[in-house]
Chain A
Amino acid sequence: IEAIRNTVEQVKLLDRFSNKSTTGTLHLTATHLIFVESNATSILHHHIASVEKLSLTTSGCPLLIQCRNFRVVHFVVPRERDCHDVYSSLLRLLRPVSYDELYAFSYNPKQNEQQRDEGWQLIDLGAEFERMGVPCDQWQLTDVNRDYKVCETYPRDLYVPITASKPIIVGSSKFRSKGRFPVLTYFYQERKAAVCRCSQPLSGFSARCLEDEHMLQAISKANHNNRYVYVMDTRPKLNALANRAAGKGYENEDNYSNIRFQFVGIENIHVMRSSLQKLLEVVGTRSLSVMDYLVGLENSGWLRHIKAIVDAAIFLTKAVTVEGASVLVHCSDGWDRTAQVCSLGALLMDPYYRTIKGFMVLIEKDWISFGHKFADRCDQLDGDPKEVSPIFTQFLECVWQLTEQFPQAFQFSEWFLIQIHEHIHSCQFGNFLGNSQRQREELQLKERTYSLWDHLLSEQQLYLNPVYSPSFAETHPVLEPSTQPWNFKFWRNMYHQFDRSMHPRQSILKNTVMLKENSKELESTVRELQAKLQKFGVSTSPLELHSQQKEQAQEDTPVGSGEERTVEGSSATENGYGEIKGSFGSKSEPAIVSLEFGVARMTC
């Protein structure tokens, strides 16, 4: 590997929202940009979305780096030449053109081959369909796509109604955009209702396809409880109409028997991309007023889009769980909005997906295997900027909104979501590389890279939700979220995850996790001690033990550090309430970096 090394000293790192700055040394390695002061901040090159050299100031040459995980760093390099060196090196490094350049192919967590294989085998989608009760008397596994002949963006293993013969499948796939014909993605066992997904039909203004009509009929027949199939077109009606001119479009209710057609109006990737951009612009403003914030939040439309996705998922869930109807979901190509709605719907219907392992399975199924174009959407390789869009980020945010409404329903906390988000861009693990399963096989990811799921499971302690209650799942198997607008909140811990001054200064989550862990530790230690004491033939009552502990504890209590006048990174200067002239700008703040875990952890 070509190792680019570059070290610049006396670089200033400016805080984004206050006048604070720290001085340290900037190192550039082949994979990371590292800033070292009393502690190190490291930024993976893959996370960098843009580097900008701003105009020269008296203190040096400013370099503004924006990252895909919403970190924004503002360096000031004393010498212009150094700044330019770093700038041009970064430009070269942050636009990989081939997959081989990605970090995943050089990342080595010191595992042997067997461990690596085991890591990849953690998630087994075949087993997942079995868990749902498929194959069964109405649904079967088809080998039609074994060699990616029918649809190259679908996985090899697909589940279809038993009455859907091969010619029907092939015929239907020819009538669907990118060959993405209707297949099963979730089976609601209780009502034998299916959630299927596909892409838009190539119906144009009047085209029909008998095989496709048969396909939908087969889905309808597979459900004995309710003959009606809801067809959810997740696009706004206008977009669908416009597609007709291009020979695409939507299902004509007259041609398909037993369908109920419905638009749900989620906007396309371009709207979503610019919406997030607007949002980030607003919340990145220095000394933002409350009014401008709220106006900006509204104008960005971001929360409206998030709500639209949740609304669609609720619609899907109701159709399946209340009416017992099967639902077919599609958008244009069936890999963005369709993935969002299907996976979120399944999450509402099935408590399994609200566990750590289950959530991984859900992502693996609805996003990775069904060909959400992670490489394009997350801009992994230097590609078309118009293909980039925060579709998966939106999905994670929808899940977060739900965790806020149902604090006890999820096994994981928001740090799990944030950590997953970190890795769709990090290209450190193989899971999210490429655009489809076929491409991943060609890249031999399972042989050449490691699985993120294995890594996350190994540190799952960090991601547990302390108030998760499995019994909540029993009483609430299906979540019925409220769609009142005030339930949709700005996700500060995602979009400001690196802006320390904005976080709550003390965290209930962190504290409760710590208490719970300590309790567990203490309990096991006490048990151990008792066992040992017994071995020595000494018997002490637990009370004595307590009093001993207390004495000891008092001795150990550290003398209050009088100098430190802040609570977990809280300080007056950071907040800038004031306009008192020059009186205390020079006083240095104690540097306490105690971020919530999961955030700002280095990626190496």
Chain B
Amino acid sequence: MEFSEHIKTANVEDVVLKLPFQPPMRGTLCVTGHHLLFSDRAEEREWQLLLLLRNIDAVEKSVENLLGYPQHPKAGQSQRTTGSSGTIIIKCKDLRILQLDIPGMEECLNIASSIEALSSLESITEMYPFFHRPRELSLNDPWGLSSPEQDYVQTERLWDRWRLSKVNSDFSVCPSYPGAMIVPRTVDDDALVKAARFRQGGRFPVLCYCHHRNSMVIMRCSQPMTGANRKRCREDELLLQAVIDESELGYVIDTRSAQQAQQARMTGGGFESKSFYRPWRRIHRHMERGKVLQESLIKLVEACGDPSHNMDRWLSKLENSKWLSHVHSALSTAGLVAECVERDGHSVLVHGSDGTDTTLLVTSLAQVILDPASRTFRGFLQLLEREWVQAGHPFQQRCARSAHSHARLRQECPSFVLLLDCMWQIWRQFPLALEFSEALLLRLAQEAYASDYGTFLCNNEQERCTLGVKENTHCLFQFLLRCSEREKYINPLYEPTELAIWPSVQPQSLQLWTGLFLRWTEHAETMAEAREEIWTIIKEHRERTGAEETTHTPPTHRDTFTAVENLMDELTIL
């Protein structure tokens, strides 16, 4: 295999590994095609560290050679000059930083260059998901949780006014859309093709959510290509008109500022003008994207790694990163969309420019606010699959590098991390409303950047089909839903509610997601203990109320109690 040409030194003995807040460990380091392995000398059976090379964001090396150059480069390990050694600092995409002290300058340089080369392989089929073959999983297991077809068949309230279109089954109409989409019944495939030509990247308006209370919908698309001379497209206009009745109103939530939308016309883009899209009102909500967001993440992570204990410095760095402002604008735009649908009873169309980042962020958060189904474990994963994976969020480009990388920024952008952060904020405010815990969000944050599974590979469904991702890798979502995994990510306090959950977006209500950004700090431990304790209390309570059998629907405790009380009254009468 070609991996071997990148590996000059596969094994080094006597390496010291320093993990944050742990005593240094001495053992053997080993580089393979996809992993960095470290095993403690004392207990050789047990891997102390198994790090996916893909998870490595940056490598910093420094070598020291106290006694001059080694005499014979070819000399074996035993004859190594005692004075030379090197240190490699590895910065991971999951924000962990570890240090390796390696005896032997040459070994150190070899290891570092192997890591650098192997961690940035571009070929997707050479990535680890294509090689990951755990014994308990089979490639014949179902891949993915749902498809647009299934969604359509299962949602009866759609059948009347919406249809499933397979116009994109060969991905020719829109390369970043899946093969099937839900569109208004009255619009035929030809019109869709024409509308697609009028939208950037062919992303014409499609349905993403139909509200269970009032059948109002959330749709998404990319910007219309009106250009400087205000081009029109009848089919696009009709498509949107078909969504709402004559008398009704709809809202277009544009995730760019009005000024940005105007400027987009110069490069062929634009916005829906009032005169041509009569029943639609446009609201601009500026959200940052792309490079700005990536730089924000980089600054935030840098601030979190600042060793100084100075309060003012920390606050000004936090403020400087602007990360929490992005959290704020994402949540409040999603809140606005949800407000339009639930309280105002109008349908909403969301887009920015490409319709692959902020658009998805807003539509998926709005669904979590509105839809109890997307707050369950399975439902949330389905939401991610539908609104991010199938909807063509370019994971491969966005998550190529993370906050530590020194490489020049290309298409990187932490949109997905921002979504997870917003989910965390919602969980903080509604700790009972989500069936999953913070641990799931953390796991997803890690998996999006480096994974054993194929779910987040590629940029869209078309690429996945071409590369045979579904045939040759395992599905993360299916794996997480297995009982043994599921248990780790369940929120013990979950009590389903049918109501919409409106997060507060006051700055005082938003917090830094310490679980992610300060994940590798010393006090994570005491917090984990406290969480454990809460678990114990709940378990005890479940045992007493005899509710273990029905974990899915925690009983209303009061009722159980009154039941006991009634029983007691009966007895007294007896």
With A505-B430, A515-B541, A549-B564 known to touch, is A405 a contact of B493 (CB < 8 Å)?
no
The answer on a CB contact under 8 Å between A580 and B315 is: no
Assuming the contacts A506-B433, A518-B557, asked whether A548 and B567 have C-beta atoms less than 8 A apart, the reply is yes
Q: Which residues of chain A from 271 to 307 have any CB-CB distance to chain B below 8 Å in the complex?
A: 283, 288-295, 297-298, 301, 303-304, 307
* A587–B537 touching, CB < 8 Å: no
**B95-103, B192-200, B475-483, B525-533 - the one binding chain A:** B525-533
Most buried by A among B430, B512, B572: B430
B503 part of interface (Cβ distance < 8 Å): yes
- List which A405-429 residues lie within 8 A (CB) of chain B: 405-408
A459 at the binding interface (Cβ < 8 Å): no
A578 and B328 contacting across the interface, CB-CB below 8 Å: no
Interface size on B, residues (CB 8 A): 86
CA distance A525 to B567 in the complex (A): 10
Is A490's CB within 8 Å of the partner chain B? yes
A516 and B344 contact, CB distance less than 8 A: no
- In the complex the two chains form, what is the Cα distance from A532 to B505 in whole Å? 53
Stretch at the interface among B26-34, B35-43, B139-147, B333-341: B333-341
Within 8 A of A (CB), among B288-316: 304, 309-316
Looking at the complex, which of B59-67, B450-458, B514-522 is the stretch in contact with chain A? B514-522
Given A548-B563, A560-B498, A577-B335, A496 contacting B523 (CB threshold 8 A): no
**Known contacts A485-B309, A526-B564, A298 near B315 by CB under 8 Å:** yes
Q: Given known contacts A519-B540, A529-B568, is B506 in contact with A577 (CB within 8 Å)?
A: no
Nearest CB on A from B496, distance (A): 11
- Say whether A522 contacts B545, CB under 8 Å: yes
Q: Do A567 and B571 form a contact, CB below 8 Å, given A405-B523, A522-B544?
A: no
Asked whether, in the complex, the Cβ of A549 is within 8 Å of the Cβ of B499, the reply is no
Q: Is B1 an interface residue (CB 8 A)?
A: no
Q: Are A294 and B319 in contact (CB under 8 A)?
A: yes
Task: Give the residues in chain B near A542, CB-CB below 8 Å.
Answer: 546
A556 contact set on B, CB distance < 8 A: 559, 562-563
Residues of A within 8 A of B314 (CB): 485-486
User: Complex Cα distance A550/B560, Å?
Assistant: 7
Which residues does chain B contribute within 8 Å of A17, judged by CB atoms? Answer: 506
A532 to B527, CA, bound (A): 43
CB distance from A487 to the nearest CB of B (A): 7
- Number of A-B contacts defined by CB within 8 Å: 252
Judging by beta carbons under 8 Å apart, are A578 and B336 in contact? yes
Q: How far is the CA of A148 from the CA of B510 in the complex (A)?
A: 51
Interface assignment of B534: CB less than 8 Å from any CB of chain A: yes
Bound complex: CA of A504 vs CA of B433, how far in Å? 12
B509: Cβ under 8 A from any A Cβ: yes
Q: Is A489 an interface residue (CB 8 A)?
A: yes
- A10 close to chain B: CB less than 8 A: no
- Report B316-334 CB contacts with A as 1/0, cut-off 8 Å: 1011001011011000110
Residues on the A chain within 8 Å of B311, using CB: 303-304, 307, 485, 488
Interface of chain A residues 536 through 582 with chain B (CB within 8 A) = 536, 542-543, 545-546, 548-550, 552-553, 556-557, 560, 564-567, 570-575, 577-580
- Rounded to whole angstroms, the CA-CA distance of A293 and B546 in the bound complex is 47
Given A496-B508, A528-B568, check contact A515 B557 (CB 8 Å). yes
B546 contacts A549, C-beta separation under 8 Å: yes
Q: Which chain B residues lie closer than 8 Å to A289 at the CB level?
A: 325, 328, 507
- Is B565 an interface residue, CB under 8 A from the partner? yes
Contact check, A578 vs B310: say whether CB atoms are below 8 A apart.
Answer: no
Q: Binary interface profile of B, 551-574, with partner A (CB < 8 Å = 1, else 0)?
A: 000011111111111111001101
The answer to whether the Cβ of B342 comes within 8 Å of any Cβ in the partner chain is yes
- Rounded to whole angstroms, the CA-CA distance of A502 and B509 in the bound complex is 6
Contact B510 A290 (CB under 8 A): yes
> B518 — which chain A residues lie within 8 A by C-beta?
486
Within the complex, which residue of A492, A522, A557 is in contact with B564, where a contact is CB–CB below 8 Å? Answer: A522
Q: Which residues from B are CB-within-8-Å of A19?
A: none
The smallest beta-carbon distance between B302 and chain A, in angstroms, is: 13
Q: What separation, in Å, do the CA atoms of A504 and B510 have in the docked complex?
A: 10
Would A508 and B493 count as touching, CB distance under 8 A?
A: yes
Say whether B344 contacts A518, CB under 8 Å. no
Residues of chain B lying within 8 A (CB to CB) of residue A406:
526
Cα distance, A552 to B499, chains bound together (Å): 25
* Residues of A close to B336: CB separation below 8 A: 577-580
Contacts of A304 on B, CB cut-off 8 Å?
Answer: 311-312
A506-B555 Cα distance, complex, nearest whole Å:
17
Cβ of A89 under 8 Å from chain B = no
Most buried by A among B311, B339, B556, B574: B311
User: Interface code B354-368, partner A: CB below 8 Å = 1, 0 otherwise?
Assistant: 000000000000000
- Tell me, yes or no, whether B502 is within 8 Å of chain A by CB: yes
Do residues A571 and B502 form an inter-chain contact, with CB atoms below 8 A? yes
Within 8 Å of chain B (Cβ to Cβ): is A4? Answer: no
Q: Is the CB of B512 within 8 A of A486?
A: yes
- Proximity string of chain B (203-244) to chain A, C-beta cutoff 8 Å, 1 when within and 0 when not: 000000000000000000000000000000000000000000
Give Cα distance in the complex from A584 to B344, angstroms: 7
Q: Kindly state whether residue A484 has any CB partner on chain B within 8 Å.
A: yes
Of residues B310, B333, B431, which shows the largest number of chain A Cβ atoms within 10 Å of its Cβ?
A: B431
A-B contact pairs, 7 of them (CB 8 A): A291-B319, A406-B526, A504-B429, A525-B565, A526-B564, A570-B502, A572-B343
6 further A-B contacts with Cβ under 8 Å, apart from A290-B510, A484-B309, A572-B335, are: A288-B506, A289-B325, A408-B529, A508-B431, A567-B497, A584-B343
